[in-house]
Amino acid sequence: MKKSNYSNKKILVLGLAKSGYAVAKLLKKMGSDVTVVDSNPLEGNTEAKALIDEGFNVITGTNSADLIDDSYDYLVKNPGIFYSNELIQRAEELMIPVITEPEIAYSFSDATMIGVTGTNGKTTVTTLIQLMLKHSPKFENSYYAGNIGIPISDVIQKATAKDVVVTELSSFQLQGTIELHPHVAVLNNIYSTHLDFHKTRANYIKAKMHITKNQTKNDYFVINYNTEEWRDLAKQSDAQILPFSDNQTLDKGAFVKDDVIYCNGQAVMKTDEIKIPGEHNVQNALAAISVAKLYDVSNEDIIEVLSSFKGVKHRIQYVDTFGGHKFYNDSKATNVEATIVALTAFKQPITLIAGGLDRGNGFDELIPSLKGKVNNLVVYGQTADKVIESAQKADVSNIVKVNNLTEAVPEAYKQSDPEDVILLSPAAASWDQFHTFEERGDLFIKEVETLKGEVNDD
């Protein structure tokens, strides 16, 4: 183990799901005294039942503050649990460190660690880096893990010092880190989101910047240089800065000039060789290329990855074509900025399905992207009326409000014209009607398949 040793430490794990289950098992392997607390009842709680069968102390159906006392050394929380939770508040009163799963996992292995964060695009960048580093002569194996849907605590147990683990890290995960220290950190971009959790943009940025706070001059910080704010953030890092940009020429780092991608002054590939659509994916490619070149991946292998990669599930994912309509699943667009990115990725007219959890923000930032681009809008969820208000300002003439996504898919098909793109890009989190954005995207795919069957039967 290269950092903290959790042996003989008394630790409370708050919240299960994938990451809580995985970190509890890892901590036990490390010799910790582990108690697991999950607010969900035991009935139907498969993770809790599995841990009980393995001899863990598991408490379900509550997260009362009296479950923790000053005998505990750490509280490891599920990233999505708010710090206002009474058990977390009590831990902080007792001066017990509140951390998240990546903090534990990063301490366990000598594998090379790469961390990727950002408001948008981090799943794509994480995946691209992992695929490119499969071709690096410096590693035996290349893995990805983290917010991408695979607990780091699982992957880290099979990775050796000869391997690399590329981890997607959310602001929720990063806020609960103390000693986390990736050799390469990537910051793809920062917009304003998750403010219901972080309260202010400054707090959100601070959480994101945890990815580089422990880096030294022997490490690398790959950061988007497209805005002055992001360039200023680079000054907070002690690592070697590797900038990338698609709107300016750089003396070092990765950039675009005359539709050619350069890295450290060397031409790598043409932008039109990137298979996934949209200008944002050029930025994603620049970030991934910056890391790949650190580890001697050839231009040929980079081109092979970028010319064949079709995109990640739920992120402008092509689903199907029928009746002249192309369907795309962008359920991962949980904020306005992500939906703007999706809308600008297409040249065809769009029928947009949007709406979801109301976090108190407005949607007027969408107006320039809706205007002249979106012919039809189908909305549902808590934010439906707010989205309608902004769409009307953008002169979207055909707007339909429905109750849920199941109703939205056939309605979007009914309202759209042949050759339209039917795009689910909600501009909001899924938690008003779904547990996760993945569940929302999977339902969209299922409803598209159902609709296809009905159309073909007609």
pLDDT in tens, 254-284: 999 999 999 999 999 999 999 888 888 999 9
Joined tokens for residue 170: 């959310």
AA letter at 48 = A
Q: State whether 173 and 256 are in the same domain.
A: yes
Q: State whether 37 and 135 are in the same domain.
A: no
Q: Into how many domains does the chain fold?
A: 3
Q: What is the pLDDT of residues 291-346, one digit of tens each?
A: 999 999 999 999 999 999 988 889 888 899 999 999 999 999 999 988 998 999 89
Sequence ranges of the binding site for ATP: 118-124
Query: Does 2 fall in a domain?
Result: no
Q: State whether 51 and 150 are in the same domain.
A: no
Query: Does 193 fall in a domain?
Result: yes
Q: State whether 421 and 393 are in the same domain.
A: yes
Query: Does 185 fall in a domain?
Result: yes
* pLDDT of 194 above 70: no
pLDDT score, position 458: 60
Kind and range of the H or E run holding 11:
strand 10-14
* pLDDT of 53 above 60: yes
Q: State whether 140 and 186 are in the same domain.
A: yes
Query: Does 3 fall in a domain?
Result: no
Query: Does 44 fall in a domain?
Result: yes
Mean pLDDT of the chain: 94
Compute, in degrees rounded to 10, the torsion defined by CA atoms 289, 293, 294, 295.
110
Supply the range of the domain harboring residue 168: 102-308
pLDDT score, position 455: 87
Domain boundary among 99, 127, 153: 99
Sequence ranges of the binding site: 118-124
pLDDT score, position 362: 92
Query: Does 92 fall in a domain?
Result: yes
Q: State whether 300 and 402 are in the same domain.
A: no
pTM (2 decimals)?
Answer: 0.81
Domain boundary among 244, 274, 308: 308
* pLDDT of 2 above 70: no
The packing angle between helices 299-308 and 279-294, to 10°, is 150
Q: Which long-range contacts (CB under 8 A, 24 or more apart) does 231-237 make?
A: 233/187, 233/190, 233/205, 233/209, 236/209, 236/212, 237/185, 237/209, 237/212
Q: State whether 155 and 278 are in the same domain.
A: yes
AA letter at 66 = D
Closest CA to 432 of 252, 208, 196: 196
Compute, in degrees rounded to 10, the torsion defined by CA atoms 255, 257, 263, 267.
160
CATH number at residue 85: 3.40.50.720
User: What are 75's strand-pairing partners?
Assistant: 12, 98
Q: What is the pLDDT of residues 95-131, one digit of tens each?
A: 999 999 999 999 998 999 999 999 888 999 999 999 9
Q: State whether 44 and 121 are in the same domain.
A: no
Q: State whether 49 and 87 are in the same domain.
A: yes
pLDDT score, position 311: 83
Taking each continuous run of H as one helix and of E as one strand, the counts in the chain are 17, 20
CATH number at residue 322: 3.90.190.20
Q: State whether 129 and 267 are in the same domain.
A: yes
Query: Does 4 fall in a domain?
Result: no
Strands of the sheet containing 74-77, edge to edge, are: 57-60, 33-38, 10-14, 74-77, 98-99
Strands of the sheet containing 317-322, edge to edge, are: 317-322, 325-329, 421-424, 350-354, 374-379, 398-401
Domain boundary among 68, 99, 130: 99
What whole-number distance in Å separates Cα of residue 283 and Cα of residue 245?
Answer: 7
Q: State whether 277 and 333 are in the same domain.
A: no
Closest CA to 15 of 82, 72, 96: 82
* pLDDT of 416 above 90: yes
Kind and range of the H or E run holding 112:
strand 112-117
Query: Does 160 fall in a domain?
Result: yes
Binning pLDDT at 50, 70 and 90, where does residue 149 land?
Answer: confident
Q: State whether 180 and 280 are in the same domain.
A: yes
